Amino acid sequence: MKSPSFLEGAVLALIAALAGTLAHGAFTLLLPDAGALRLVMAALGFGYLLYLLGRSREPIGRITTLTLWLTVAGLLWVLSPPLPLYLLAHLALTWAARSLYFHQGPLAALADLGLMGLGMIAAIGTYLHTGSLFLSLWSLFLMQALFVFIPSRAQARDRDTGDEEARFRRAHQAAEAAVQRLSSTH
């Protein structure tokens, strides 16, 4: 499976912004605005988690990650913290999943945490400046599309596999040369 690309992330950002805006419009018919925003955040967070798990090459821990995410999201819904804290908690859940499934070490995870923070600042700033939920969501998810430029586990694995293959080829060539020398001298 190929790794996610920035273009794929940009398209996902557009889809998430459209879906979130439409869902918010529908949810406000049933819930107050704050409740509708919470539901949109949870739904987009869950959808993004499913996307990340689907694109990850790591086969281990998917059910645990889903269970943990659903448990924490459920607790957040019940406890109903202030909206900025609710958003921050969902971004932290996303960051944790991305760090576990995509990044090769603590520096990459910290870079991703910075990217999450920048995305949150961009989303809030966009909303305060324009009042547009669509543009805010698009800004948030577009910033998240940049995570593909942080060194990943898949890149490290590919690099390590390439080194192993190169070492094997050299060893194989050396063995063939040794067998040829042995057969030519006797």
For 27-64, the pLDDT digits (tens) are 999 999 999 999 999 999 999 999 999 998 888 889 99
DSSP letters of 28-92?
TTTS-HHHHHHHHHHHHHHHHHHHHHHH----SSHHHHHHHHHHHHHHHHHH---HHHHHHHHHH
Domain map of the chain by residue range?
6-151, 152-186
Six-digit token pair at 11? 């398209």
Model pTM score:
0.77
Q: What angle do CA 40, 44, 45 make, to 5 degrees?
A: 115
| pLDDT, position 160 | 47
Report how far residue 172's alpha carbon sits from residue 178's, in angstroms, rounded to the nearest whole number. Answer: 10
Of 106, 75, 79, the closest CA to residue 93 belongs to 75
- Give the range among 7-11, 110-114, 115-119, 181-185 with minimum mean pLDDT: 181-185
Give Cα 153 to chain centroid, integer Å: 12
Torsion of CA 60, 97, 25, 132, to 10 degrees: -150
- Burial class of residue 32 (count of CB atoms within 10 Å of its CB; 0-12, 13-18, 19+): exposed
Q: Could you tell me what percentage of the chain is helix, strand and coil, using 3-state DSSP and rounding each to the nearest 5?
A: 85, 0, 15
For 119-174, the pLDDT digits (tens) are 999 999 999 999 999 999 999 999 999 999 998 654 444 444 556 777 778 887 87
Report how far residue 127's alpha carbon sits from residue 25's, in angstroms, rounded to the nearest whole number. Answer: 16
33 Cβ partners below 8 Å, 6+ apart?
Answer: none
Q: Are 145 and 10 in contact (CB under 8 A)?
A: yes
